[in-house]
Structure 1
């Protein structure tokens, strides 16, 4: 009988302790769930807002003119700059919400992991913006160089195409290198590759200019010599 009473008292005490724990954590769990639900709704709304704001600008159209959007869609992937940035912004705030929840629940290891991800997302956004701006500027400069050379009639048409492509890809490669550097990916290797690629493009451009424009340059020099001779 004494053993039964002892067991009964132990069970009752354990049950009461468990009930106290449940009652102590219930408000925290309810608040955590509210924070999670409201935070996810806000994160989704902010992502959509950023997406709409970017769509109001000509950025998507400018990127499409570079040919990047078409090539990505040919691979079976729907791509728009506004969609990507909107998606990243949404997930940035989703992680902020989850980080808040894990902190409230005192899940330290998860909080540290999410903090690392949260700190890296801005680097991804900046890298995408740098790459996008580089593609737009590279495409613009390439077209400008080609039109300028054709209008000057100083260099052969074939060389104009080579030089315009050279100008475009120098900028694009620089943007790619800058984006990778922003992501902290093999920075020393990127620096070496960038130096080598720029040197290679400079040599290629010099050869293209020399081979394509030497006849025009000789003709221009002869014309100047003839005009000077007539003046004398």
Structure 2
């Protein structure tokens, strides 16, 4: 019995070593793909930045409302687009490498391939979801600053309230979209959002009703005399006419 057990262990170890050796070129190939993506991204970054300067991209963007989204500097916009291109190319290379790994995993017997396949399946949605969260939070902060500095908010003296409400709402929307992209179940967040929307709608309706009620009461009190004045004048004229007769 013992020799059979030892032989079984030896065969299992041998098979796993052979499977790993067979799978090693696949891992190296995936690493090469990622490296090529990073290399191309680094090479394209200065090219895109220089192209942006030549076509005067910064000057054109600075004349639009999107100016606040970019850092200060003569070439801030061009540099941002260069960095975006670099990471975009790197992300494409990463996704291609993962897809190729998943295809190759199906043809190997290495014992870790099942776990690796499951792990790699989470990487693309996690990367995309992280990008959504990063960009979304950045835009939300920019929108919050714009609302805080808006003329309308200053006129009604509601800048802190409007900015806080805008930030909370946009953060919630970005969080839901980002987590949903990552594959996280956000049903509970949808439930909270629905309940909050109902409560906010009810509070707004009550506030509007009370405001109109109090405003209407004051308006009626101020104008009721003028409304009834024509009737009183008509009654006085009718009484005078009867007396003359």
Return the TM-score normalized by structure 1: 0.49
Bigger Rg over Cα: 2
Return the TM-score normalized by structure 2: 0.47
